[in-house]
Structures are given as C-alpha cells and as structure tokens.
Amino acid sequence: MIRPCRHTLDAALRAEWIGHLCGLCLALRDAHGHLARVATNYDGLLISVLVAAQTGQRTRTAGPCALRGLRSATVATGEGARLAAVVSLVLASATLKDHAADGDGPLARPALARAATRLAGRWARHAAADAAALGLDTAVLLDAVARQPGLERTATSLLAVTEPTETATAAAFAHTAVLAERPENIAPLTEAGRLFGRLAHLLDAVEDLPADERSGAWNPLVATGTDLAAARRHADDAVLGVRLALADVTWASRASGRLAHRLLVHELDRAVQHAFAHAAKPSLDKEPIRGRGLLAGCGTAVVLFCTCQVCCGEYEGPWSGKRRDGWCQNCSCDGCEGCDGCCDCCNCCDCGS
C-alpha cells in the first residue's frame, strides 16, 4: 500500500526506507532461509520503522545485492527487523495455505498444493518460535486470517469485513511499543494499526474492483453494496485517525520519528488519493487476465526487477498478470519531475517533516 516515490522522500529518508526494506529481507533469510524472502513486502517494513522510531535506529552493513545493483548498504537490524519478519512470514504462510486449500492458479495441481501446504506449515512453526522469543503471540494474527473467509460469506457491513485485518495489524503495531519498552505508546499505536489495517483491506478492494467485476470474483465493496463515495469517506476518516493517533506517540527523538510520520501520514494519504483516482478512470482492458505459474512468475519477477520495469510506467504482476503501477507512479503529479510541483510535498503539517 505504501510505495513512496523517490521524489517524495529526501535522500536521508529514502536511504533509511531502503535500509528497513533490505533489513526485513535479510532478517527473513537469516532466520528462515532464502525462500522466505518472498514474504518481503513494503507495508511489513513499517513494523521495523516503528520500532526504530521509538528506540533509535540499529543498523549494520550488508553486502552487495543484485536488487541494489550489487552495492552494499546500511540496513536495519535487531528486534524491529525480526518482528517485521515474523509478522510478514506468519501472514504469508496463512495466505499460502489458503491458496493451496482453494487450489488457486498453479496450486490446482495436487502435488504443488501439498508442497505449498507443507511450506506454509513450516513457515508458521518457525515464525511462531521467533515470535515467542519476541513476546508476540501469533495466535491473534492466525485467528484473524482464519475468520476472514467466514465473514466474507456472511457480513453485510464493509467494516465487519475489514475487522480481522484491523485486529491483526493493531496487534503488530502495538507490539512495537512493547519491544521498545514504551507502554504509553501501546494505545495510540493499537489505534493507528487498526486503521492502517482497515485501509489496507479497503484500498486493495478499490484497486481490484474493475478486475473483480469483470471476472465475477468476490469483492467487499460489491458484496456489501458500498459505492466508491462511501468507501472514500471510510478511507479519509482512517487516514485522519492514523494521523491523530500518531500525534500521541512518543518517539525516541524528533529525528527518529521522521520516517514513520512521513510514511504513515503523508504517504498513506497519497496512497488513498492514488487508489481512488485510478478507480474513477474507466478501464479499457477487457481481455481476461492470465496468471502465471509459480516458476514462470518467479522468472518474470527477476526480469521486472533487473530491468527496472517495476520502477516506471506500468507492468504486469509476475504471478497474477494484473496491471500494476510502477513505484514511481505512486504520485498525483505529472511525470514526477521534482517536488516543487509534485503532489502535496510542500504542503506539510506542523511536524516540520
């Protein structure tokens, strides 16, 4: 959901953001093996960012990586990166297990479905062990995922459908305050996490709406009779709620909270604007979406990263085949040619960020 354009973060903040992204990836590799790195995701790194903002940044120097142009980098380490890895892996394992049970895509083949189920089980066990060492009970995350299908079959309210996601993200955000030993932050971060989870579910539904309407797939907006105007009101209320909750959080220092504030206030608002702006545009693509198999998708993902197609313009999701915006398209400016005329970069709040 939060994919900051390189023009909306200054050099220091962008380096810090990349450090958390790489730190999450390496924490997954170190604890669970190379394959677990596929669970790396942009929203998951927020957990690492929040811990660092409350305690002060812990970093180390990582060796060259192909996705960084074979350059070394300063990356996040410590309990924040570990917690981000645990949360990402738990949710990835639950999602993989669900897809295997439903026989989605290549997992329609029994042999692949069994292999995916075993992998999901191993990830869940390993993540639970790591979570226990960090004092986090993964049951709340897994329970939220388990309750989602039942709610999708019976719920008539949009906020009832988003509740499991809200509960899971609230627990993850709150535990950053536990690790940071800042009990005063538990309540506001619980609220920020709850509303962030609502937005994650809501914006995903908005972005998938055209494709779901064409294919007849289940979509929470259609299922609950929620139009885009009502969905936008929910989204704007959630963005405001996150901003107000963060105002009550105590950071280790003003400087240490800059990235968290930038991502969860300014970039979150930008993500909402972006999602609804695109939802309002009629889609000219009437062709059926063709997904790729597991191995073909992995190969396509490597090509997309190495040729920088994920940075600019549009590209097809390596596995889903859905059209996606490049990272540098997550702006409302034309061409993203600089911050003087870009989005609301200079329309900052009184945080001084």
Query: How confident is the model at residue 276, as a pLDDT?
Result: 93
Q: Looking at per-residue confidence, does 63 or 317 come out higher?
A: 63
Query: How confident is the model at residue 104, as a pLDDT?
Result: 75
Q: Is the pLDDT of residue 203 over 60?
A: yes
Query: How confident is the model at residue 288, as a pLDDT?
Result: 52
Query: How confident is the model at residue 3, as a pLDDT?
Result: 85
Asked if residue 352 belongs to a domain, the reply is: no
Q: How confident is the model at residue 95 (pLDDT cuts 50, 70, 90)?
A: confident
Query: How confident is the model at residue 27, as a pLDDT?
Result: 95
Both 65 and 160 in one domain: the answer is yes
The pLDDT tens digits for 343-352 are: 443 344 545 4
Asked if residue 317 belongs to a domain, the reply is: yes
pTM of the model: 0.81
Q: Is the pLDDT of residue 305 over 70?
A: no
**Side chain identity at 77, as an amino acid letter?**
T
Q: Which domain holds residue 305?
A: 291-347
Question: CA 74, CA 12: separation in Å to the nearest integer?
Answer: 12
Q: Is the pLDDT of residue 336 over 60?
A: no
Q: Is the pLDDT of residue 332 over 50?
A: no
Residue from 139, 143, 134 nearest 165 by CA: 143
Query: How confident is the model at residue 327, as a pLDDT?
Result: 55
The pLDDT tens digits for 266-304 are: 999 999 999 999 887 655 445 455 666 666 667 677 666
The pLDDT tens digits for 30-66 are: 999 999 999 999 999 999 999 999 999 889 999 988 8
Q: What is the mean pLDDT of residues 192-210?
A: 95
Both 310 and 257 in one domain: the answer is no
CATH code, domain carrying 178: 1.10.600.10
Which of 244, 261, 288 finishes a domain? 288
Both 262 and 298 in one domain: the answer is no
Q: Looking at per-residue confidence, does 94 or 332 come out higher?
A: 94
Q: How confident is the model at residue 135 (pLDDT cuts 50, 70, 90)?
A: very high
Query: How confident is the model at residue 85, as a pLDDT?
Result: 96
Both 209 and 273 in one domain: the answer is yes
Of 50-54, 217-221, 227-231, the one with minimum mean pLDDT is 217-221
Q: Looking at per-residue confidence, does 321 or 245 come out higher?
A: 245
Asked if residue 108 belongs to a domain, the reply is: yes
Both 192 and 275 in one domain: the answer is yes
Structural domain total, the chain: 2
Percent of the chain surpassing pLDDT 70: 80
Of 102-106, 132-136, 140-144, the one with minimum mean pLDDT is 102-106
Percent of the chain surpassing pLDDT 90: 56
Both 82 and 45 in one domain: the answer is yes
Both 300 and 276 in one domain: the answer is no
Both 196 and 322 in one domain: the answer is no
Both 105 and 194 in one domain: the answer is yes
Count Cβ atoms within 10 A of the Cβ of residue 316 and give its class: 0-12 exposed, 13-18 middle, 19 or more buried.
middle
What contacts 87, CB < 8 A, 6 or more positions away? 44, 47, 141, 172
Question: CA 65, CA 71: separation in Å to the nearest integer?
Answer: 6
Mean pLDDT of the chain: 84
Residue with tokens 């019976």: 154
